[in-house]
Chains A and B, each alone.
Chain A
Amino acid sequence: MTDRRFSRRVYRALMRLAPNHLQESHGLAMEQMFADLLESETARRGVTGWLAIWLGAVRDLIDASIADRVAWAKRKRAIPAASRLRSTLGPLNDISRSLRLLKQKPGFALVAVLTLAIGLGANAAIFSVIHAVLLRPLPYPEPDRVVTLWESRPQDGRPRSLVAPPTFTDWRGEARAFERLVAYSPGNSALTGGPFPERVATVSASSDVFHLLGVPMRHGQAFPENVFPGADDQLAVVSSGFAQRWFGDPAGAVGSSLTLDDREHIIVGVLPGDFRFPEQADIWLPLTFAPDQLSDPMRGARYLNVLGRLKPGVSVEQAQADVDAVSLTLGEQHPNNRGWGVRLIGLHDLMVEDYRQNLILLQIAVGFVLLIACANVVSLVLARASDRLRDRTVKRALGATRLHLLHQSLSENLTLTLLGGVAGVVLAAWTVTPLVRLAPAAIPRIDDAAITWPVLLFCFGAAVGVALLMTLVQHGAGVMLRSFVRLGAVDPGFATENVLTVSLALPRSRYENASQQNQAFESMAERIGRLDGIEGVGLTTNLPMIGSAWPFGFSIDGRPPTDEQLVAEFHAVTPGYFDALGISVRGRGFDGSEGPETPAVVIINETMAARHWPDRSPLGERVTVVSQNGAVSREVVGIVADVKHAGLVADPKPEVYLPMAQDTWAFGLLVIRGNRDMHALWPDIRAELAAVDPTLPLTMRPMTDIIARWTAPLKFQMILVGLFAAFALIMAALGIYGVIAYLVSMRTNEIGIRMALGAKPGAVFRSVVGQGLVLAGLAVPLGIAGALVVNRSLSSILYQVSPGDPMTLAGISALVVVVAMLACWLPARRAMRVDPMTALRWE
């Protein structure tokens, strides 16, 4: 069991307190015995047993250490060492005494330690993720020298664009700051030869990509450094996981062949299992360029990712200056490069940029949780301190100095935080693994999150940072929670429930021309549309949110040509597409009569309409869209609502939709909407598709899965923040309860006297509850005022929630009152039943 192993690890670390010679000779036996005790007592008495064993064991180690040092001093009769001894023993003695005190008040100890454990544990868990994702260097040699390069045109809102092949080869030839530059492009291919055809994720990359990264193969070899088009580009490198799945034996994969898109590829190497790259892929193919791909017009076709390794000693700034100069020259030579610069971003920065802010936000949120925990414990300790006032007065009368008493409470607090830290780390060790499973796979390197030494150090460092102003912060946690709820509820702009997508690719060998392709697609759509329970079927080249965009050039007929090429995201769709996704269209739209011979038409989106025809309707206007058939002038026949194609929070871009019948592509995504759970309809759909062509590889994905890729990180944070905010509220409630219950129990004596003097139980009850409610009544307005102040500074990181959100504040205030009433009610009931004699004897 994780906890058992973990408890042993912590105990082993603490064993350093015990004398060295004992640790060496009996350490293992002690650890074993501790683990046995912990297990049996936890089984017998639950958390109380667990805590008792931990308290006892820590005290035992401290006592052993003291005894050993005293024995040593006696043996040596080392009088001069005696004073030094006292100073080393002092804190240990204090802690040992504090533990004894805590054992006498197990209820208090339990609440305080658990409260701190939750606070510290939450922080340790999140920090372990931050450490794994943000702080650790990438697993390549000298990872700081690996950078990404982008074409950039910030003046047009395109600060970071992919790179065109001719531009890449120019950079590669002329930039001096890099040891290597490579390009890659993610894609997918149909893999045949297995039990059934499937689509696999691929990355096509310059053949020296692994040389650049400095990653050796697990088996076989990397691509040769230079691969020539047509000659030997049918090589492949595969991931460890794929080799295991496909061949059963990674080593045996080398030399085997794979059939990808009907072409043979020979596997030359298998990547190591821990290989990490921005794009996940099963199969790597060498990327080569045919001469026509490097022609001048291709300078506008930006689709490559580019990585570079800086030469030793070259800084990112120097490299930036170097490529700036190169791109300036290119801009002078080629119109398509004019106005385009280069942007360098460190690979690590790029990989974490989407998550950095969120993770830091989370850490701040759990930081608040910790502060609340601290405040609660502090208020509990204060309640106890007033309880011990009499004890202190006596001690002072007996000559204890104020400093001495201060020292005493300090060591008690330290003991509590240390225990809370230990329990918190255990808690974190429990939660990290499920947390990581909850996380979207896309967060790079999150799998490596674990309780490591830096995390332990962080946790104990955090244990020290205790503050007092925390009633305010519980409101902070509440407001943050609502912000995430809103983010998860952003409307994507199209139907997602009961929508299924099927990705199709027609092999050109059997579907040679557009009319054959169209016919196949049309008959599929028609057959599926006839099925019972189907409400809409359509076909598109690009699904929303799938993460691929096709920026195509266009111009507006009748307007003078501009310096800058206008660009819109391209889609070819069938008439049923908009209906299948529930996207509304203004104007005539596509009605199914479109064909190669009929007038060319186009539908544009609201953003494009608003941008280029701000003061009138674009319906009836003509735009020329450049597509596979060249530039064709088309009449605008419809305007569609904006769809979140690039993720939930990205702003929509201009888009054009062409009828598939006038611009046919050999592949597409079927979008099918039904009136019930689509998994039930899938066998029927598959049968209809097979009736058209039984050999097509199909990939089915529910639309909700595609959306999940975007919402999952948000949901993940929402769940986390929700959990932690809930913890925070529970702890705040516990804190309120603890303090009020304690105050009431302090009044037992007084209540006994009152009852002995004839007070009615009902009157006692009212007085106790009244006291609590007065406290709560004071706390709520103070808390709200505080929340307004604190949240103002939070507003920059909150999404669509105004600081001082009335719902949140009202909800939490109500909760505080309810908790306060409960906290009064329980002890008040006890107070009513107090036997006056017992109460008077109460110390």
Chain B
Amino acid sequence: MPKNPDSLKPRWFQILLALANEELHGLAVMKAVLDQTQGHMRLWPAMLYGSLKQMTEAGLIEEREDEGATDADRRRFYGITESGRQALAAEVDRLAGYIRLAEERQVADGSVSA
């Protein structure tokens, strides 16, 4: 469990989001994050695997064996853990809270007054 779920890093959030419904290997995680951020967040190898490593250590995700693949080309797949799911849900709640607030203040149509 992360010490403070409120401060989930944007990178971690995006990775958890990408892993929410499927297990992915490294390159696929990078592509999923690139897609879901409309190309704004590209996770380069060191950044990506650094994050995956830290998140594994934090218990948010875990490595899964790629069944059926031979030793030679086995890739590491990553899947979300129960506590990862909780952290993601908490972060989504937190962000949803901001969205509700913004809606109440009618920010979305662009007519914000200073």
Contact = CB atoms under 8 A, between A and B. Distances in A.
Interface of A: 15, 18-19, 21-22, 25-26, 29-34, 36-37, 56-57, 59-61, 63-64, 67-68
The 10 closest A-B pairs by CB, nearest first: A60-B44, A64-B46, A30-B45, A26-B49, A60-B46, A33-B45, A18-B46, A61-B46, A33-B27, A34-B45
B17 to A, nearest CB: 20
Given A22-B53, A36-B27, A29 B76 contact: yes
Interface string B27-67: 10010000000000010111111101100000000000000
Contact of B44 (A57, A67, A68): A57
Contacts of A25: 49, 53
Nearest to B30: A33
A22 B44 contact: no
A280 B32 CA distance: 60
Residue from B30, B45, B48 with most neighbouring chain A CB atoms (10 Å):
B45
B85 interface: no
Contacts of A21: 53
B55 to A, nearest CB: 12
B71 to A, nearest CB: 13
Residue from A21, A26, A36, A68 with most neighbouring chain B CB atoms (10 Å):
A26
A30 B27 contact: no
Contacts of B76: 29
Contact of B49 (A22, A59, A63): A22
Q: Is the interface of A mostly helix, strand, loop or mixed?
A: helix
A34 B26 CA distance: 11
A67 B50 contact: yes
A77 B42 CA distance: 31
B84 to A, nearest CB: 19
A36 B105 CA distance: 46
Contacts of B42: 56
Contact of A33 (B26, B50, B53): B26
Given A29-B76, A33-B26, 18 more contacts: A15-B46, A18-B50, A19-B50, A25-B49, A26-B52, A26-B53, A29-B26, A30-B45, A30-B49, A31-B45, A33-B30, A33-B45, A34-B45, A56-B44, A59-B44, A60-B44, A64-B46, A64-B50
Contacts of A19: 50
B4 to A, nearest CB: 15
A446 to B, nearest CB: 36
B26 A22 contact: no
A33 B48 contact: yes
A31 B48 CA distance: 12
B52 to A, nearest CB: 7
Given A29-B75, A33-B27, A57 B45 contact: yes
Interface of B: 26-27, 30, 42, 44-50, 52-53, 75-76
A63 B47 contact: yes
A36 B52 CA distance: 19
A22 to B, nearest CB: 6
Contacts of B47: 60, 63-64
A64 B52 CA distance: 13
Contacts of B46: 15, 18, 22, 30, 60-61, 63-64
A60 B49 CA distance: 11
Nearest to A17: B46
Contacts of B49: 22, 25-26, 29-30
A32 B30 CA distance: 13
Contacts of B75: 29
Nearest to A27: B49
A15 to B, nearest CB: 8
Contacts of A15: 46
B11 to A, nearest CB: 11
A18 B51 CA distance: 13
A319 B89 CA distance: 87
A32 to B, nearest CB: 8
Nearest to B42: A56
Nearest to A53: B44
Contact of B50 (A36, A57, A59, A68): A68
A710 to B, nearest CB: 51
Contacts of B30: 33
A36 B28 CA distance: 11
B31 to A, nearest CB: 10
A51 to B, nearest CB: 15
Contacts of A64: 46-47, 50
B69 to A, nearest CB: 14
A731 to B, nearest CB: 31
A336 to B, nearest CB: 71
B28 to A, nearest CB: 10
Contacts of B27: 32-33, 36-37
B51 to A, nearest CB: 10
A61 B46 CA distance: 6
A63 B44 CA distance: 10
A832 B75 CA distance: 56
A22 B48 contact: no
Contacts of B44: 56-57, 59-60
A8 B23 CA distance: 27
Contacts of A30: 45-46, 48-49
A149 B10 CA distance: 76
16 contacts: A19-B50, A21-B53, A22-B46, A22-B49, A25-B53, A26-B52, A29-B45, A30-B49, A32-B27, A33-B27, A33-B45, A34-B45, A56-B44, A57-B45, A60-B47, A67-B50
Nearest to A56: B44
A693 B50 CA distance: 80
A587 B52 CA distance: 93
B33 to A, nearest CB: 13
Contacts of A59: 44
A63 B42 CA distance: 14
Nearest to B29: A33
Residue from B46, B48, B75 with most neighbouring chain A CB atoms (10 Å):
B46
Residue from B44, B49, B53 with most neighbouring chain A CB atoms (10 Å):
B44
A56 B41 CA distance: 12
A521 B26 CA distance: 78
B76 to A, nearest CB: 6
Contacts of A60: 44-47
